[in-house]
Structure formats: C-alpha cells, structure tokens
Amino acid sequence: MYLDPGDRPSLTPQLAMRVAILGGIALLAFAFVFFRLWYLQVLSGDTYRAEANDNRIRQIKVQAPRGEIVDRDGQVLVENRVALAVKVSPKLLPDGEAERRVVYRRLAEVLDMRPRGIERRVEKQLRELPYAMATVKQDVDQNIVAYLLEHRSDFPGVEPERVFVRQYPQGETGAHLFGYSREISQEELDGGRFPDVAMGDIVGKQGIEAQYDRFLRGRNGATRVQVDALGHVRGQQLDARAPEQGRQLRLAIDLGVQEAGQASLAGRPGGFVAMDIEDGEVLGLGSSPSFDPNFFSRPFTTAEYKALESEEAGKPLFNRAIQGGYPAGSTFKLVTATAALEGGLIGPGDVINDGGSIRIGDIDFINAGKAVNGPVDLRRALSVSSDVYFYLLGQEADSSGDGLLIQRWSHKLGIGRETGIDLPNEQIGRVPTPEWRNDWYKRGLTNRPWTVGDNVNFSIGQGDLLTNPLQMAIAYAAIANGGKVVKPHLGLRIEDSTGRVLQELASPPARRVEVASEYRQAILDGLHSAANDPGGTSTPVFETFPVEIAGKTGTAETPQGDQSWYVALAPYPNPRYVVAVTIEGGGFGAEAAAPAVRQILTPLLDVNDNGEVLAGTAPD
C-alpha cells in the first residue's frame, strides 16, 4: 500500500517559519566562524606570528654599575671595581641530575663551599629565570678563575664573568655616612619602596647609598636570546643593550675633616659633627666604633652580621651622631640661657652669688668639683660653667607660667625633634616634661612623678634629657647665625661621570627663631670667654690654638660613666662653622671632647701641624 501524493501532509506556515529561523541561525554561526578564521589568519596573521616569535625571545639583565660618590673637592669616597664572579650557564649545564651534582661537588672543592649549598643557590635562580646565568659566588680570586678556565672539561656550564662590586676606599672612615648597598630582598620588593626594581638588582640599604639610591642606581642593560617553550636557550645571542652607570653624587663632606673627626674619637664610643652654620652643609659627621662597609660587598654569615650590632662590640652599625640619645651636660646651658633671657627671668648683666651649692626642697645641688665661683653674671657663668647659676634658672622656670619655658626653647632650637638631615633613621631624642614623667609614673615606668628638681637638673643638661651631637650643633648654629635653625644636609649636586652638573640639591629652607641680638651676643661672649679667658673651662685646650673660637664644655653623669661633650663655634667673632663632639665615658669635657674638637678644627680652619693658619679659614 502506498500513499497518494495528494495524501501527503502539507508544510504548515508555522513549521516553515521555524525551519527558516534555524537555517538563518546556522548560516550566521557559519559566517561568524568563517570571518573569524579569516580575520585571525589573513588580517592578523602577521601580528600573532610576531607575538609568537616574541614569546621565544627573553631578555637577560646586565647589571648597571652604581654612580660614584665624591666629596666637595671631587675626591672619591665610594666607587666600583671590576671583580670576577663564578656563574652557571643553564644552556651548558648537564641535563641529568646526577651529572649536575658531580659538577657542583667539584666546584664546591674549588670555591670552598658546600655542594648542597651550591645546588640550592643555582636551582633557585634557574627557577626564577631559567634562561639567565645563575651566580654561584662573587668576587672570586683570579687564581681560582684561572684554574676553572684551565679545566673547563671538568666544569661544564661553569662560566667566569666580570661584575661590578661596590668599593669603599676610605674603609671605616665615613662608613655611617655612606652606608652600603646590596641585592634587594624579597621583603623590600613586597614593601613597594623600590617600585622600578626587580629581583637581583642592587639597591642602597643604609646611609647615603639608601637616601640617594634613585640617582646612584643606574639603568640595567639587557641581552636578548632565543629560548624554547621550556625556557632553554636556543641559538645565538640576538642583540644587546649596554647598561648605563648611575649618576655621580657630590657631597658637602670634606674628606680631610672627616678623617680628622674619625681619628679624634680614637676608637672610643662617640660621635662628631662639623657643619656650616649658615646653610647647614655638613663637612664631617661620624660615629665610633665604626665598621668597614666593604664587608657588605661579599657574602657573610648571620653571626658575622650580628657581631656588628652587638653591645659587646660597641654596636658598630649604630650612628651615634644622629641616633645617640645622651644628656648634654653643660653644653645645654646655651639653651637654658636663651630661654631665661627671652623669658625675662634674668638679664645679661644680672649677678647671682654662686656659693658652690644651693638647697632646693630637701636636696642640695652642688657645683661640679664643688667649685665656688662667687658673684657671676651670664657671661661669667658660661665661662666658668657655674651650675648654681643655672640651677636657679631651672627652679624659676619651673614655677613661672606653665613651667615649660626651657622645654619650649629646646624645641625651637632643634632639640628633641627631627633635624631633617638627608640620612635615614635619625632619632629625635627626648625633652623631658612634667606630662611625660607623670605619664611614665602612672604606667610604672619610673619611681616618682615630676618635681622641681627635674627641671633643675634639666637646666644643666642632666636628668632625662636625650639628645645627640647634630641637634646640639644646630642649636649653637642658631645662636651664632642670628636665629636661623638650619636643616643639615650632605648632598650638594647630581653630576654625570665627567663631573658636569645635572641637578643642584638646594639647601633646605631654615626655620627662624627670634632672639634679641644683645642676648645672643652675651651668650657668645660667655662662650668665647670659656675658651680664652683665665678660668675658662676650655682655655687650657685652646689658648695656643692660632684661631680664636667660642666653645662650651659639658660633662654629663650617666650609669656608664661621665659623658664628655664639647661644642665650638669658629672662627670668632664671625663664626662660620660649628663642631660638636661627644664621647661616652670620656670624663670631663675638657679632657676628651675638647681636644677632639681641636683636632677637627685643624683641617677645617686650614691650620697646619705647627699651629699656623694657612690659606683662608675653611674649605671652599
């Protein structure tokens, strides 16, 4: 049986519409695929082919040497030297694990290293950059390199290479200034301080190296090589971009002054500063004990590094000139005198009878050495360093107004606050106040609240005061220069390798404090008398010095012994420089710190060994 054609079911309009829609969709899908393939293969083929080729190209970084650091006269302070490094080439290293370990074992015997340590070091670097050479050891002796070259067949993949190593030709002199540089750590990369730096780059870690890293760090070069899908080098080197050395940095430092300052401390724990009182240029700044920053240009152990921070070794990494916290002793009397004069507690000619001691409350406050100075005005009190005179000022300041007269002037003159020097990690110290001590007492950190005796001790730089040589130098400079509280700075300018100036590092603006000229002159007269007149506390040290100075001794009692201080302004009567020195456990100021200041002033003021003034009064 069959159907008659007339009996076949007809195509309904609804079914025809569905078929048409499905056909249209299929046609559009086919057209999209066709045109997409045509676009990728015909129109964009060259682009994707180029990108695929680029994926086979890798750049191997060529480390740039850092810029040199020179003193104000162009003498080299920090430079680079070419050294030899032993590296491993991933292209030439044996593929088998056993064969590699044979190479590592042989290399360990030559380099005096552990085979497992070499393996871990190399494998870690090759995981991060499988196409770049891995460094096994830097700064290798020439004889070792010669041996490796003579026995190449025993060390497949081992390639000596010349590298730049940071060098500090001055050794321990200026180490705290220059700091050091080293390969960036993972923590520093994660911290974001160096946004344009990659793993393996050398960055400044401390001191000037860190402060001016963006100028000193050069621009790395690169070598382009072809690699396979696994990152293995294939073929020859394609091209190279030479590295660009970092900029040269010229400092205000005078190497002769810096060397004299370091020598003046003679290994004793302490710090020194020599600074221009007008613009804050620092010509010398140092700390003792010091360290050799060349230490950081080679591998070292954790134990070796900890020795540089240990109390037993005197904490060589600690910069006492800007991080130390010490009572200033009688050098602080310049601050108390300024506060008392400006606060109306006393006039320059007012006389107080110094009988050798004074009783305040139930405590007897006695002059150093139990000296009896008799009638003294401000000038005489500074000259002979009358404690009784300043004890009375401290007592009166505590009971006048809000009792913070000396504290306010301390901050005005730069004590207990950041100086703004272009060095990292300075410490602000402490200016004691009733609020501070009472808070500590409530927290159980001290055994009593504030009393008038605290302000009495504070008035002569004792008690809870903590300051450092740089802060004291700034305070003295402000009185000598007419009230400018300068911001000390080390950097002068950025230069190219030929010394051509690229950027001036302008002197930071100074704050101003208003101190009456007659008050400033009375203080300076007293400081001059202290270094020149009979009975002056430092006259025995400077009476034969060919250039007149003004200066003040200081002896602060500490649990470690007497802290020796001296701050000088020179030449007098128109001072250009301030020099501040402190020596831990040095005894009286005139015994240790004052002779150290004289030693620094000798090159600073162009005085020769015979005590004769040469040309001018300072470096240009």
pLDDT in tens, 238-295: 667 777 889 999 999 999 999 999 999 999 999 999 999 999 999 999 999 999 999 9
pLDDT band of 4, cuts 50, 70, 90? low
**Any idea which of 26-30, 379-383, 584-588 has the lowest mean pLDDT?**
26-30
| Alpha-carbon distances of 591 from 76, 188, 325, 566, rounded to whole Å | 34, 45, 21, 10
Distance CA 382, CA 390 (A): 9
Secondary structure (DSSP) of 204-222: EEEHHHHHTHHHHS-B-EE
Distance CA 522, CA 537 (A): 17
Distance CA 178, CA 289 (A): 15
Residues in contact with 169: Cβ distance below 8 Å, sequence separation at least 6, in sequence order: 76, 77, 78, 79
pLDDT at 2 over 50: no
Nearest to 339 by CA among 389, 259, 291, 397: 397
Distance CA 569, CA 548 (A): 9
Which domains does the chain show, CATH number per domain? 59-92+100-251 (3.90.1310.10), 255-306+319-604 (3.40.710.10)
The torsion defined by the Cα of 334, 489, 270 and 579, in degrees rounded to 10, comes to -50
pLDDT band of 123, cuts 50, 70, 90? confident
pLDDT given for residue 31 in this prediction: 74
Mean pLDDT for the stretch of residues 169-193: 88
Nearest to 342 by CA among 474, 215, 514: 514
Distance CA 429, CA 580 (A): 16
In DSSP terms, which residues pair with 566 in a beta bridge? Answer: 553, 581
C-alpha of 104 from chain center: 39
Q: What is the pLDDT of residues 447-498, one digit of tens each?
A: 999 999 999 999 999 999 999 999 999 999 999 999 999 999 999 999 998 8
pLDDT at 84 over 90: no
The span from the first CA to the last CA of the chain, in angstroms, equals 125
pLDDT at 331 over 90: yes
pTM of the model: 0.84
pLDDT at 336 over 60: yes
Nearest to 577 by CA among 603, 613, 611, 554: 603
Q: What is the pLDDT of residues 43-74, one digit of tens each?
A: 555 655 554 454 566 656 667 889 999 999 99
| Alpha-carbon distances of 415 from 323, 335, 471, 583, rounded to whole Å | 13, 9, 6, 19
pLDDT at 94 over 50: yes
The per-residue pLDDT of the chain, averaged, comes to: 88
Distance CA 580, CA 566 (A): 6
pLDDT band of 82, cuts 50, 70, 90? confident
Answer whether 246's CB lies under 8 Å from 67's CB. yes
pLDDT band of 26, cuts 50, 70, 90? confident
Mean pLDDT for the stretch of residues 520-538: 97
Helix (H), strand (E) at residue 383: helix 378-384
Mean pLDDT for the stretch of residues 200-207: 88
Whether a cis peptide bond, with omega within 30° of 0, leads into 573 is yes
Secondary structure (DSSP) of 430-454: B---HHHHHHHHHTTSSSS---HHH
Q: Provide the H-helix boundaries in 241-356.
A: 255-265, 302-307, 320-323, 333-342
Q: What is the pLDDT of residues 100-115, one digit of tens each?
A: 888 889 998 988 888 8
pLDDT given for residue 237 in this prediction: 56
Distance CA 107, CA 144 (A): 10
| Alpha-carbon distances of 598 from 263, 371, 548, 606, rounded to whole Å | 12, 26, 11, 12
Distance CA 592, CA 324 (A): 18
Please report how the helices 333-342 and 517-532 are oriented relative to each other, as an axis angle in degrees rounded to 10: 150
pLDDT given for residue 182 in this prediction: 87
Q: Is 438 exposed, middle or buried (0-12, 13-18, 19+ CB in 10 A)?
A: middle
pLDDT given for residue 1 in this prediction: 46
pLDDT at 9 over 70: no
pLDDT band of 199, cuts 50, 70, 90? confident
